[in-house]
Amino acid sequence: QQQVKQSPQSLIVQKGGISIINCAYENTAFDYFPWYQQFPGKGPALLIAIRPDVSEKKEGRFTISFNKSAKQFSLHIMDSQPGDSATYFCAALSGGYNKLIFGAGTRLAVHP
């Protein structure tokens, strides 16, 4: 019930392409869905987040798409750059549980 399932585990994209990472959840009490970006040797950093009252949120080249009925959300990285190469984690928060539940992570490599 508290799991967040993330796919794919790894992703290779050519420079300029679109990177897409998907997450699914079961618990309908989740009400906040952030994405974190982690570079080697660093802790995860908040990238973008969405609440279930909207279906899409865009910040620069990064977009979250949210499908409440399917209980799925995804991160799209437009015009992917080598500097986007990192591990990406989706997460979900329920106020009732008071903690973030993370997906397993996606290692993205953007090739020049």
Partner 1 sequence: DVKVTQSSRYLVKRTGEKVFLECVQDMDHENMFWYRQDPGLGLRLIYFSYDVKMKEKGDIPEGYSVSREKKERFSLILESASTNQTSMYLCASSLSLDYGYTFGSGTRLTVV
Residues found near partner 1 in the complex (CB under 8 A)? 6, 9, 32, 34, 36, 41-46, 49, 89, 93, 95, 98-105
The residue among 77 and 93 lying less far from partner 1, judged by its C-beta, is 93
The residue among 10 and 18 lying less far from partner 1, judged by its C-beta, is 10
Question: Which residue in this structure is represented by tokens 């991160």?
Answer: 75
Q: Is 28 helix (H, G, I), strand (E, B) or coil?
A: coil
The residue among 96 and 112 lying less far from partner 1, judged by its C-beta, is 96
Query: How near is the Cβ of 72 to partner 1 at its closest, in Å?
Result: 17
Query: b/e per residue, 32-69, with b = 16+ CB within 10 A?
Result: ebbbbbbeeeeebeebbebeeeeeebeeeebbbbbeee
Query: How near is the Cβ of 17 to partner 1 at its closest, in Å?
Result: 25
Question: Which residue in this structure is represented by tokens 């679109």?
Answer: 18
